[in-house]
A and B are shown apart, each in its own frame.
Chain A
């Protein structure tokens, strides 16, 4: 049951360039989407979120884009920094439901 999919298990980006992480979902009931960052031996840390009434949300170097018709969201990090190297999880929820449904994650490596 892969309601949230991250098709790229890994991504390498040069420092200073843009990192683009992608996520697709199948459940049209999802109306809130989040990105989490995870370092080894730590729990997921919230990065940025977007509700389905928007198509873009920006917070500093991080921007999330939502394309509801394509059931696709992406996280843009610009400029990428070495500290951004981590596993990034996309997650989704729907109103009235307290649980998060996670994707499988993308390991981002920033090359100095």
Chain B
């Protein structure tokens, strides 16, 4: 079964450092997303991406965050200057077409720990 692959599974970084979280969505999917889950809290939407541009972003997704699809297969989330409160599980998701919300497929996540 096709899956969304995220690397690394765990990333430890020092406060103020830049970090890039990587995702390989399912190959025929066109819509890409990042969500995060702070420990003990709910899964929160960060950003959606379609046709090489951001289609929607949340209040969390401020200027220190950026996304990119550099080569047609990878989808990355960059945090420019990490803060302690960025520590969370980050989930990438993709789906094939609009309005098929049940088609969301999530990756296994990257646990980001900022120290």
A contact set with B: CB distance below 8 Å = 4, 32, 34, 36, 41-46, 49, 89, 91, 93, 95, 97-105
Contact = CB atoms under 8 A, between A and B. Distances in A.
Contacts of B106: 36, 43-45
A98 B56 contact: yes
Contacts of B41: 104
Contacts of B31: 98
A104 B108 CA distance: 18
A50 to B, nearest CB: 10
A49 B102 contact: yes
Nearest to A39: B108
A-B residue pairs, 5 tightest by C-beta: A43-B106, A99-B45, A102-B43, A104-B42, A49-B102
B48 interface: yes
A99 B43 contact: no
B100 to A, nearest CB: 10
Contacts of A103: 42
B55 interface: yes
Contacts of B45: 99-101
Given A99-B48, A100-B101, 19 more contacts: A34-B104, A41-B9, A41-B109, A43-B4, A43-B91, A43-B106, A43-B107, A44-B43, A44-B106, A46-B104, A89-B42, A89-B43, A95-B99, A98-B31, A99-B33, A100-B43, A100-B104, A102-B43, A105-B42
B109 A99 contact: no
B44 interface: yes
Interface string B83-107: 0000000010100001101101111
A10 to B, nearest CB: 13
A102 B42 contact: yes
